[in-house]
């Protein structure tokens, strides 16, 4: 049992779910939510903050500021509290209520942007607000996860080698695409050390990262309205797009077997299921997908039936509702 002195010193890096018994898929799911931040973003947050300290960009009195849909904001709130920095998260209404409350409980300040940028949407508006903060006061330090190479270096250094060590015969790795930090880090590692491993990116319908048309997205985590500067297609072999309706259905399917996982995980597993059905049906495949977070922060969205019906219509979970004799649906 480890003994730690700071919350970012602990992370479970070797927990996998064999989904064959749950979804009849030849797929292992790497669970990244078992740390004090509750998500894979703790790795990138730690790498970016420590690099900024080494480069003398951070000093006593600095205020960390970042645009985040949620998980990185929580991770930075934890590290800021541990190290004595202030933290401001710039987000929008898609950020889950539980996530905002977590950041505030940890001492972070949350600013919600409501008006989208005319061309670059809500993300563009968030980034413009961050730039204005930095221009107004030199105490603000913007790590800029979308452009910061330490975002992907964290996963090149930790996540990818952990997977490679656990699965020496790996055939395909499924990685969700948000800022593309996890995707780029894992892609770089495997292209260098195990180029035979196929890297399949999973993205949300409506994201522009891979050149698709912009569209509405309500589940935070994956997808972007602006292609991240750290992204390069050179480290990706294939791309799967997943509609958010499929994300919701997959999250509920996992929850019915006792695995309450986040919206990003639902998207990644749904994409992996589609890709495996097309490319490896009936074949023995060594496949891994990365689950970025757990499901508790999505209780008022992905796992809230009234929210689901308001956003996606009444039929999304129609096959998930059971009726008890003489009783009401539940």
DSSP 207-254: --TTSPPP----SSSS--SS--TT--GGG-SEEEEE-HHHHHHHHHHH
- The per-type count for the chain, helices as H runs and strands as E runs, is 11, 10
Q: What is the pLDDT of residue 327?
A: 35
Beta strands across the sheet bearing 140-142: 109-113, 86-92, 63-67, 140-142
Regarding the domain delimited by 41-142, which CATH topology (the fold level of the hierarchy) does it fall under?
Rossmann fold (3.40.50)
Q: What is the pLDDT of residue 121?
A: 81
Q: What is the DSSP letter of 267?
A: H
Q: What is the pLDDT of residues 268-280, one digit of tens each?
A: 999 999 999 998 7
Residue 280 backbone class (left: φ over 0; alpha: ψ -120 to 50; beta: rest): alpha
Domain positions in the chain are 7-31+157-312, 41-142
User: For residue 288, what are the β-bridge partners?
Assistant: 28, 173
Six token digits for residue 106: 């940890």
| Beta pairing, strands 16-18 & 28-31 | antiparallel
Six token digits for residue 2: 């480890």
Please determine whether the domains at 7-31+157-312 and 41-142 fall in the same fold group of CATH. yes
Matching CATH number, 7-31+157-312, of 3.40.50.300, 3.40.50.720, 3.30.70.260, 3.40.50.1100: 3.40.50.1100
Q: What is the pLDDT of residue 319?
A: 57
Q: What is the mean pLDDT of the chain?
A: 92
């Amino acid at each position: 049992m480890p003994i730690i002195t700071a919350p970012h010193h602990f992370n479970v890096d070797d927990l996998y779910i064999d989904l064959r018994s749950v979804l009849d898929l030849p797929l292992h799911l790497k669970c990244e939510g078992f740390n004090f931040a509750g998500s894979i973003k703790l790795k990138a947050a730690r790498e970016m903050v420590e690099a900024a300290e080494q480069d003398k960009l951070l000093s006593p009195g600095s205020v960390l500021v970042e645009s985040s849909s949620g998980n990185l904001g929580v991770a930075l709130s934890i590290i800021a509290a541990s190290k004595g920095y202030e933290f401001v998260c710039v987000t929008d209404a898609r950020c889950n209520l539980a996530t905002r409350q977590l950041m505030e409980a940890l001492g972070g300040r949350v600013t919600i942007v409501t008006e989208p940028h005319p061309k670059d949407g809500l993300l563009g508006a968030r980034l413009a607000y961050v730039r204005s903060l930095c221009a107004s006061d030199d105490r603000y330090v913007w790590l800029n996860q979308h452009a910061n190479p330490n975002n992907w270096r964290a996963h090149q250094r930790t996540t990818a080698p952990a997977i490679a060590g656990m699965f020496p015969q790996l055939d395909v790795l499924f990685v969700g695409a948000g800022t593309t930090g996890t995707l780029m880090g894992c892609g770089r590692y495997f292209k260098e050390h195990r180029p035979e491993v196929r890297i399949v990116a999973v993205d949300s319908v409506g994201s522009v990262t891979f050149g698709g048309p912009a569209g509405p997205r309500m589940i935070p985590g994956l997808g972007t309205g602006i292609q991240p500067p750290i992204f390069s297609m050179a480290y990706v072999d294939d791309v799967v797009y997943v509609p958010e309706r499929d994300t919701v259905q997959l999250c509920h399917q996992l929850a019915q077997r006792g695995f309450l996982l986040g919206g990003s995980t639902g998207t990644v597993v749904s994409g992996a299921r589609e890709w495996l059905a097309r490319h490896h049906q009936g074949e023995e495949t060594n496949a891994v997908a990365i689950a970025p977070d757990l499901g508790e922060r999505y209780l008022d969205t992905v796992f809230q039936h009234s929210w689901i019906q308001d956003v996606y219509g009444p039929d999304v979970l129609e096959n998930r509702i059971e009726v008890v004799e003489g009783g009401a649906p539940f």
